[in-house]
Amino acid sequence: MTEKTYKDLKKDVWDAGLCSGCGACVAVCPGEGLFFETGKGMNSPVSTGTCKEDQDGVPCGVCYAICPRASGEMRQMLGVYTEALAARAGFEVPHRQSGGAVTAILANALDEGLIDGVVTVTEDRFTLKPRSAIITSSEPLIHEAGSRYSWWVPLLASLKEAVVKRKLRRLAVVGVPCAVQAVQRMRASDNQLAKPYGRSVRLLIGLFCTETFDYRALVEGVLGEKYHVEPWQVKRLNVAGKLEVTVEGRDQVTIPLKELEATVRPGCRSCTDFAAVDADISAGAVGAPKGSTTLLVRTPIGKAFVDRAVASGRLLVEPKVDLAAVEKLAKEKSKRK
């Protein structure tokens, strides 16, 4: 049977401006046939011309099978969850974005041997360039806490290295909702080439997401040229109705989101999933008291990881979430088409 190839992905997703840049297709292509061209906006991948199905007629179709945008399925609102918690780390997490709860769950899981690696996005703190990474011990994980709002690399790029080269079979993946959807498609797919990836992801943590920004346009354009802030001066970025930039030796710079509209990645404009409804646990800032993270625990697996972190004292939780605030942002995002 002929499967869909990257040519269908190009027509249905890339050329339609729907690609989120999640990098899942790049990660799973068995022929290394897809990549993002460095420095060219990287709104969607390109083909190397080595697609096995297209060139040699070898049945594949895995890129199309796992792409969250090819399915046309829309995720909306808060999804199914069993618990809503305000949570924070029971230990110091210096760079945490909210309450450090995501770091606490993952650090505990690594230290207890529940997982053998975390696929996530870290950053070069000098240039603020994000990079897809595999972390296998709690100390570097704690060092890499915090949110990366701008993209330079496809965030799931490291999944191939984790599964194929390093043969890690008990992974946690942390990602924004589009990446979570892609990984969940790997877990559920009947495509034989997707199965090793799906089977290797034990825990899937989703981060609430309104939008992400293009690295060059945000860091070099708006921050550098307009606000004269160099990346190495930035101590913290936070989005809370506006972009708050904590700058070394200067007053905080506050930028209205309206000013950032041109820097929003094109694939985000048609994205309706705020709360990462396909994750085992979703995490965000909105809804929890300052200094805590909102956790929506969705699956028995997610609950097991939260319970283990609570039992070890590394995660502190209370059932104190303003769900109406979360619903408000989810509803606004669900209006996108």
Ligand X SMILES: Cc1cc2nc3c(=O)[nH]c(=O)nc-3n(C[C@H](O)[C@H](O)[C@H](O)COP(=O)(O)OP(=O)(O)OC[C@H]3O[C@@H](n4cnc5c(N)ncnc54)[C@H](O)[C@@H]3O)c2cc1C
For the CB of residue 3, give the shortest distance to ligand X in the complex, in Å.
Answer: 29
- Within 8 A by CB and 6+ apart from 248, the residues are 233, 234, 235
Do residues 184 and 278 make contact, with C-beta atoms less than 8 angstroms apart?
yes
- The region, left, alpha or beta by phi > 0 then psi within -120 to 50, assigned to residue 79 is left
Binding-site size for ligand X (CB under 6 A) equals: 33
User: String of b and e for 256-281 (b: at least 16 CB within 10 Å)?
Assistant: eeeebeebbbebbeebebbbbbbbbb
Task: Determine, following the binding rule CB under 6 A, whether residue 317 of this chain makes contact with ligand X.
Answer: no
Binder among 100, 154, 198, 302 for ligand X (CB under 6 A): 100
Q: What are the φ and ψ backbone dihedral angles of 154, each rounded to 5 degrees?
A: -65, 130
Task: Determine, following the binding rule CB under 6 A, whether residue 68 of this chain makes contact with ligand X.
Answer: no
Q: What are the φ and ψ backbone dihedral angles of 226, each rounded to 5 degrees?
A: -90, -45
Among ligand X, ligand SF4, none, the one that 197 touches (CB under a kind-dependent 5 to 8 A) is none
Query: For residue 117, which of 180, 182, 165 has the smallest C-alpha distance?
Result: 165
Task: Determine, following the binding rule CB under 6 A, whether residue 19 of this chain makes contact with ligand SF4.
Answer: yes
Task: Determine, following the binding rule CB under 6 A, whether residue 176 of this chain makes contact with ligand X.
Answer: yes
For the CB of residue 20, give the shortest distance to ligand SF4 in the complex, in Å.
Answer: 4
Q: Encoding tokens for residue 168?
A: 């890690």
Query: For residue 309, which of 320, 321, 297 has the smallest C-alpha distance?
Result: 297
Contact map string, positions 221 to 260, toward ligand SF4, x by CB under 6 A: ----------------------------------------
Task: Determine, following the binding rule CB under 6 A, whether residue 20 of this chain makes contact with ligand SF4.
Answer: yes
Binder among 141, 209, 222, 237 for ligand SF4 (CB under 6 A): 209
Nearer CB in complex with ligand X: 67/316:
316
Binding-site size for ligand SF4 (CB under 6 A) equals: 27
d(CA 337, CA 334): 8
Half-sphere exposure of 269 (CA within 13 A, CB side): 12
Strands 242-247 and 213-214 come out as unpaired
For the CB of residue 335, give the shortest distance to ligand X in the complex, in Å.
Answer: 15
Do residues 295 and 174 make contact, with C-beta atoms less than 8 angstroms apart?
no
Task: Write out the binding residues for ligand X, residues 102-121 only, by CB under 6 A.
Answer: 102-103, 120-121
Task: Determine, following the binding rule CB under 6 A, whether residue 209 of this chain makes contact with ligand X.
Answer: yes
Task: Determine, following the binding rule CB under 6 A, whether residue 183 of this chain makes contact with ligand X.
Answer: no
Nearer CB in complex with ligand SF4: 196/289:
196
3-state secondary structure at position 154: coil
Q: Which stretch binds ligand SF4 (CB under 6 A): 79-87, 237-245, 266-274, 322-330?
A: 266-274
For the CB of residue 264, give the shortest distance to ligand SF4 in the complex, in Å.
Answer: 8
Task: Write out the binding residues for ligand SF4, residues 25-64 only, by CB under 6 A.
Answer: 25, 44-45
Site of interaction with ligand X (CB under 6 A)? 93, 96-103, 120-122, 144-149, 155, 174-176, 207-210, 212, 239, 283-286, 293
